[in-house]
Chain A
């Protein structure tokens, strides 16, 4: 990076002024709220009983540890993240490989595929709820017609299917993101590498394993990291489809924290939950980055 430090006779205030708008916003609406929320997690702070607001130390944190919903939410969050992200990646990769070939209408198909990426979580949730609908849903109808089921399944109202049905939605939502990123990085692979491989008589699988994959590794690393965070933090789809129910069967940690804040307006408890969620994610991130670094070194 080049450094801009012309020898000026006077002190240049311009860069400082340029930083002011962003700095004000960052301080007021990002840094202050985060510190404030951490502060709230040590308080009894329920909006409907705001007069009783007081410092209670670690009470919220201790209470959470013996909260049944919290235990279920952790397990659900793990399933939510570890089934969703690898599946999204896999389907996204296959689609990117397919779209990386030349065929008629490729450009159009490519842009069509990306629509889920720019569709609101609320709209996604309502489209899929209509498909999953237990009385008039098209999925039940198809499954009945091909003879897989004889009576309708209430996909979103059943303990065993609620979370998995929503995992499918989440996978669907994230495919375009991986496809876009992987396609972009595939196009930066020098073509003469493939030509050389053809001359050496490599088959498609070998070309993928020894040329494409190593080139994609940095992109795979960063995109899956971003996606892990994004999926773990996602609230709107589950909130809209089942609100974590029936019971706690599709409750994830983020949804639980959001519901505590938005429905019960228990800001103290909700912020403690969110702090746990952030810690939980930081641990996963550190493990993930460590594992990848180790792999790099072994290579």
Chain B
């Protein structure tokens, strides 16, 4: 290697480090540090959490906080409630959204476009506008405190989103197969369930997971519509702040356990999720 080559090479690396690796690691650090710090805190012995000078690395790694959270609080039942609500919300939303999306994608009728635009507009209303009428409604129906009341509340945002996403998805798939099925005498239901449904399965899974994540993470409706029996994960976590002002041992371990399921779901679904989101918003 000549000196000149070496010089060029090191210049290349210096440039790469300065303009790619350094800024990238800075941003990555910013994104990841809160999680790392929460994780580190959650495995610390409690006495090392509250010290005048912060102890960065715990002397021993302990799962005591997790143990306490799982066996001494309502965490397990609240995680179960969240799971129930999130799963039901995605099933209900996806089922009604896919049927409606098929009609929006394949039939031309008066107000089709206007309606799709209107659905996007719904996104603009702050959730507090739904909150109060739904509260009165659930109160009258006597379902306040029932976990399934939350499912109804969540469909206010997840259904429009599902219709919007799946309409885009169905429009993308070629029309010829449906046409062929029609010529062979299939009716609308047969065409939809036997031809279209298998083709949009990835889209359904992606939209379903996104709705699941949204419902899992929701707090504002949950705190209003649940009672101590039906609390969801987010409500349970935030109640720790008020009941025991400095219960950071439970909060950090609870935070980690709340993130893990949705992060895992996201890892498996990310390809479909991202392409679905991007397609929806670019073509919207």
Q: A25-B96, A115-B263, A119-B262 are in contact. Are A180 and B278 (CB under 8 A)?
A: yes
B144 CB to nearest A CB, Å: 12
Asked if residues A258 and B128 are in contact (CB atoms below 8 Å), the reply is yes
A195 CB to nearest B CB, Å: 20
Other-chain contact of B155, A25, A116, A131 (Cβ < 8 Å): A25
| Per-residue contact bits, chain B 33-64, to A (CB 8 Å; 1 contact, 0 not) | 01101100100000001110110000000000
Q: Is A29 an interface residue (CB 8 A)?
A: yes
| Per-residue contact bits, chain A 80-124, to B (CB 8 Å; 1 contact, 0 not) | 000000000001001100110101000001011111111111111
Asked if residues B99 and A19 are in contact (CB atoms below 8 Å), the reply is yes
Q: A98-B23, A120-B219, A176-B31 are in contact. Are A111 and B128 (CB under 8 A)?
A: no
Q: Is A2 an interface residue (CB 8 A)?
A: yes
Q: Is A213 an interface residue (CB 8 A)?
A: no
8 Å CB contacts to B: which residues of A108-166?
109, 111-124, 126-131, 133, 135-138, 141
Asked if residues B281 and A223 are in contact (CB atoms below 8 Å), the reply is yes
Asked if residues A18 and B99 are in contact (CB atoms below 8 Å), the reply is yes
Q: A114-B270, A120-B217 are in contact. Are A33 and B258 (CB under 8 A)?
A: no
Which range holds the interface residue count of chain B?
A: 35 or more
Asked if residues A130 and B159 are in contact (CB atoms below 8 Å), the reply is no
Contacts of A233 in B (CB 8 A): 124, 126-127
Chain B: CB-nearest residue to A117: B266
Q: A30-B122, A119-B259, A261-B131 are in contact. Are A25 and B37 (CB under 8 A)?
A: no
List, sorted by A's number, 29 A–B pairs whose CB atoms are closer than 8 Å: A3-B107, A4-B106, A4-B107, A12-B187, A12-B188, A21-B96, A21-B100, A25-B159, A30-B156, A32-B133, A37-B129, A37-B133, A111-B270, A112-B28, A112-B31, A113-B31, A114-B270, A115-B31, A123-B234, A126-B255, A130-B37, A136-B50, A185-B282, A229-B124, A233-B127, A236-B220, A254-B126, A262-B220, A278-B126
Which residues in A have some Cβ–Cβ distance to B below 8 Å?
A: 1-6, 12, 14-15, 18-19, 21-23, 25-26, 29-30, 32-34, 36-37, 40, 91, 94-95, 98-99, 101, 103, 109, 111-124, 126-131, 133, 135-138, 141, 172, 175-176, 180-181, 184-185, 218-219, 222-223, 226, 229, 233, 235-236, 239-240, 254, 257-258, 261-262, 267, 270-271, 274-275, 277-278, 281-282, 285
Given contacts A123-B258, A126-B251, A274-B126, 13 further A-B contacts (CB under 8 A): A18-B99, A25-B96, A26-B159, A33-B130, A98-B27, A118-B259, A123-B259, A128-B34, A136-B51, A223-B281, A233-B126, A236-B219, A258-B127
